[in-house]
A and B are shown apart, each in its own frame.
Chain A
Amino acid sequence: MAKRVGMEVAIAAAEAVGMCNIDVAAVYPITPQSHIAEHLSEIVADGRIDAEYITVESEHSAMSVCIGASATGARAYTATCSQGLMLMHELLPIVSAMRLPIVMSVANRPVNAPLNILSDHSDIMPQRDSGWIVIFSENGQEVIDLTLQAYRIAEDKDVMLPVIICIDGFILTHMVEPVEFPEQKEVNKFLPDRVPYATLHPDKPLTMGAFAMSDYFPQMMKAKDEALVNSKKTILKVWDEWEKQFGRRYRPVETYKAKGAEVLLLIMGSMGETAEPAIDELRDKGVAAGLIKIRLWRPFPFDELRKAVKGVRVLAVMDRAVSFGDSGGPVFADVKSVLYSEDNRPLTVNYIMGLGGRDVSVEDFVNMAEGAVKAKKEGYEFYGVGD
């Protein structure tokens, strides 16, 4: 039986990576990801694992190193957030198009300007069309579990795609939480060695990342989209196997008291845990409220979301990012597009909240839910910015 320990979540993330038999890590430190970068470098430097830790001069270089390493068949890891992720952006569609199973932790932080090092989702949202699998974590145990699952999903021969694990900056990364690690031999059983589809090797020359013109390019984009959409089958399979081996259950869309609810809050990331007591309070006050948490952001869990909102009168989508010039937040836009073709779809409203690390309390969630119940039309608003 695994022992329960109190550990800072960023440290736990690095420890989990250390259990994945990685070959190469190339990480450039950036707040609030730094403790992952630092602790993983200690794990390597102390000889606890046999891996190369490559110190690089930027996040762009970090991802470039991972691409090269992964192309040779190595298991490669990186982590970043915010401006670092924006600098990496150029490389992200390359990784997914080359079908390289790199795993990256993102310690979600706002993007400049103004400079802000706290927490929201405005760094990950611009990456959502890059072809990566993106999974949100809610607490420290999920960070460990999702990290250990990530290579298993990424390297599956039916997937071969990179995976991002989102960990809310500070609120998760710097929190000391009770967590438990599985035994190394159990992890080894769950996560076998990588069997690459193709590798760069002088004895067997081949070309990766070649040029393509209009005769092949569209088919390549279709093949990439199919790969990402189809990856959900494997993600579900891996989560089932995880549950069987370790007992903890993971679903693309999680619900809390959603059954029979009149109003549902929809949320991603660590704030799900704050919203739960708000739902309890609302239920005590006689408001039939419930909660939906989207864990799997890409590929988007269409069927699971449709099922979760069936029969609900009002759906309040919580966004921690803005899609400037669009009709609200990026999660709102996706959710609306999923529900557009549904008969009797819920009235869907959008709160943009928690930007720049702004605390959202239980009371705030109660307020938003009560506001949503009274909503007459669809639309978005910034919560807590004044009239």
Chain B
Amino acid sequence: MAEATWREISPGNVVHTPGSAKEYHTGSWRAMRPVWDDAKCIKCGICYIFCPEGCVRQEADGFFRADLDYCKGCGICARECWPGAIKMVEEG
């Protein structure tokens, strides 16, 4: 479904609203969701460092979670987590 007609496209496709990419929820692309097992997590933060989307955050208790509005489910965090604390679980 078209969000705008071609007449509404700004010249050169210029986006005049800075930071508007955050309105685009790439989490809708996700087929697999990362699930943390905090019993295995050593809070090293390697998931946070490797997340290409920058959507893994450290919570107040020191454990990590992905912002599912933006997590595409790529699984890099699970692949890099050497204590094996992250599992990719099918959505739906």
**Which positions in A face B, CB cutoff 8 Å?**
97-100, 160, 197-198, 205-210, 212, 215-216, 218-220, 222-223, 226-227
| B12:A226 contact, CB within 8 angstroms | no
| B18:A197 contact, CB within 8 angstroms | no
| A197:B12 contact, CB within 8 angstroms | yes
Further 15 A-B residue pairs, CB within 8 A, beyond A97-B12, A160-B12? A99-B12, A197-B11, A198-B14, A205-B18, A206-B14, A206-B16, A206-B17, A210-B15, A216-B2, A216-B9, A216-B13, A219-B8, A219-B9, A220-B6, A220-B13
**Which positions in B face A, CB cutoff 8 Å?**
1-9, 11-18, 20-21
> 9 tightest CB-CB pairs across the interface, nearest first?
A99-B12, A207-B15, A219-B6, A222-B6, A205-B18, A223-B9, A98-B12, A198-B14, A223-B6
Q: How far is the CB of B58 from chain A (nearest CB, A)?
A: 28
* Residue numbers in B under 8 Å from A220 (CB-CB): 6, 9, 13
Q: A97-B13, A197-B12 are in contact. Are A206 and B2 (CB under 8 A)?
A: no
Closest residue of B by beta carbon distance from A208: B14
Q: In the assembly, what is the distance between CA of A227 and CA of B8, in Å?
A: 13
* Residue numbers in A under 8 Å from B3 (CB-CB): 215-216
CB<8 Å pairs between A and B, sample of 19: A97-B12, A197-B14, A205-B18, A206-B18, A207-B20, A207-B21, A208-B12, A208-B13, A210-B21, A215-B1, A215-B3, A216-B4, A216-B13, A218-B6, A219-B9, A220-B6, A223-B6, A223-B11, A226-B6
Q: In the assembly, what is the distance between CA of A197 and CA of B1, in Å?
A: 29
Most buried by A among B2, B6, B18: B6
Q: A99-B11, A160-B11, A215-B1 are in contact. Are A198 and B16 (CB under 8 A)?
A: yes
Closest residue of A by beta carbon distance from B13: A220
Q: In the assembly, what is the distance between CA of A215 and CA of B21, in Å?
A: 15
Q: In the assembly, what is the distance between CA of A102 and CA of B13, in Å?
A: 17
| A198:B9 contact, CB within 8 angstroms | no
Closest residue of A by beta carbon distance from B20: A207
* Residue numbers in A under 8 Å from B9 (CB-CB): 216, 219-220, 223
Q: In the assembly, what is the distance between CA of A324 and CA of B20, in Å?
A: 45
Q: A205-B18, A206-B18 are in contact. Are A212 and B13 (CB under 8 A)?
A: yes
Q: In the assembly, what is the distance between CA of A207 and CA of B12, in Å?
A: 10
* Residue numbers in A under 8 Å from B14 (CB-CB): 197-198, 206-208
* Residue numbers in B under 8 Å from A207 (CB-CB): 14-15, 18, 20-21
Q: A206-B18, A207-B18 are in contact. Are A219 and B2 (CB under 8 A)?
A: yes
Q: A198-B14, A198-B16 are in contact. Are A219 and B1 (CB under 8 A)?
A: no
Q: How far is the CB of A27 from chain B (nearest CB, A)?
A: 24
Q: In the assembly, what is the distance between CA of A222 and CA of B21, in Å?
A: 23
* Residue numbers in A under 8 Å from B17 (CB-CB): 206
Other-chain residue from A205, A210, A215 in contact with B13 (beta carbon distance below 8 A): A210
Q: A216-B3, A219-B6 are in contact. Are A98 and B16 (CB under 8 A)?
A: no
Q: In the assembly, what is the distance between CA of A219 and CA of B9, in Å?
A: 7
